[in-house]
């Protein structure tokens, strides 16, 4: 009989959902979703960026990112400003409220969560594990 639960694709998918659920629940404690936190982190690193560039970096499509930004604008965490070079284009910035949330709550929480995940990997192979993730990512991007 076929035991699909031993397929790597199944195990990775199940584990990814479990990690996503845990991380999302942690984010919700601070009033944002996991996806919204990734937008906030990206804008923190790339003030004045475009929706298209955010979408590329966080690996979502532009319409999905636009929806995330709409909700973040409603919560006064992000703002859109006209690009002085191209009035048809909008640039995305954190508001003071968004920056404070990111710096005081989200970044520490994400760092703590990352350490929690890292600590689940045998310390003797953590570098190999990270390298394996990088290899999978590279190969799948080129598939």
Cα distance between residue 24 and residue 26, in whole Å = 5
- For domain 4-141, which CATH number applies: 1.10.1330.10, 3.40.50.10260, 1.10.10.10, 2.40.50.140? 1.10.10.10
Pick the residue with more confidence: 30 or 2?
Answer: 30
* Per-residue pLDDT band at 141 (split at 50, 70, 90): confident
Tell me the pLDDT tens digit for each residue of 51-94: 999 999 999 999 999 999 999 999 999 999 988 887 788 999 99
What residue has token string 């890292």?
A: 118
Confidence (pTM): 0.89
Cα distance between residue 54 and residue 51, in whole Å = 5
DSSP H helices, 75-106, are 96-101
**Residue 77, both tokens:** 């965490």
């Amino acid at each position: 009989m076929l035991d699909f639960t031993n397929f790597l694709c199944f195990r990775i998918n199940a584990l990814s959902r479990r990690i996503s659920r845990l991380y999302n629940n942690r984010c919700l404690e601070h009033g944002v979703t996991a996806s919204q936190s990734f937008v906030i982190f990206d804008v923190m690193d790339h003030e004045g960026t475009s929706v298209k560039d955010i979408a590329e970096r966080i690996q979502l499509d532009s319409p999905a990112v636009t929806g995330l930004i709409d909700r973040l604008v409603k919560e006064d965490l992000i703002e859109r400003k006209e690009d002085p070079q191209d009035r048809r284009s909008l640039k995305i910035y954190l508001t003071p409220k968004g920056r404070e949330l990111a710096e005081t709550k989200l970044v520490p929480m994400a760092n703590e969560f990352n350490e929690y995940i890292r600590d689940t990997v045998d310390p003797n192979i953590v570098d190999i594990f990270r390298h394996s993730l990088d290899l999978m990512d590279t190969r799948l991007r080129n598939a």
